[in-house]
Amino acid sequence: MKRNGFTLIELLVAISIIAILAALMTPAIGGAIERGRSSKCVGNLRQIGAAMQQYISDNDYRFPAIETEPPSLPPDVESSGTALEVLSPYGITMATLTCPTDAVTTRNVEKHKTSYHFSPVLQDESPVSVKIYGRRGIFEVSNIGRLTMATDYEPVHNSGGGIGFNVLKADGRVTQR
């Protein structure tokens, strides 16, 4: 007798093997998706850094005074506007100001109008001589690579097994913590 098709048992075994393989691949696929979102976030921060460097060169070599919610500017510094208002002439859009991981929840975008927190230390300061006012006095920072310009509002990215966030340094580097 000649067989033309599969038996029901053979079909069920094949389907169950495919289901087991799919279940094993789901965490790996989720991790790859999050790594892609984190990479997009790094790209967004690099674009923001480039726009801020252009702003600095156009505005008397001073960092922009970006309004954040809640207000974080010192009382003597007048706000230039929101990040979108300040940086849009330099090619920054709302899509650039939204972290892809944060876009899933939209909680920070709705509350702060951006996914990124801009440092109140650098508001309206010159990159050459940033002063930090601390409990032990006033410190002038000569290496701006140690200063943070912007970060994710919340640690949302999987980095090396833990949850961390991306950080834009004043020299334009983006690191992950």
Distance between CA atoms of residues 169 and 175, nearest Å: 8
- DSSP letter assigned to residue 168: E
Burial of 14-45, coded b for 16+ CB within 10 Å and e otherwise, reads: eeeeeeeeeeeeeeeeeeeebeebbebbbebb
pTM for this one? 0.73
Q: Is 151 within 8 Å of 166 (Cβ atoms)?
A: yes
Helix (H) or strand (E) holding 20: helix 8-58
Distance between CA atoms of residues 52 and 48, nearest Å: 6
Torsion over CA: 169, 165, 97, 83 (sign): negative
Q: What is the pLDDT along the chain (177 residues), one digit of tens a residue?
A: 566 777 888 899 999 999 998 888 877 777 778 788 888 888 999 999 899 889 888 887 778 877 766 555 556 566 677 888 888 899 898 889 888 887 666 677 777 778 888 877 666 666 666 666 556 666 666 667 777 888 887 777 765 566 778 888 888 888 887
Report residue 26 as tokens: 């789901």
Domain boundaries, the chain: 8-176
Strand partners, 118: 150
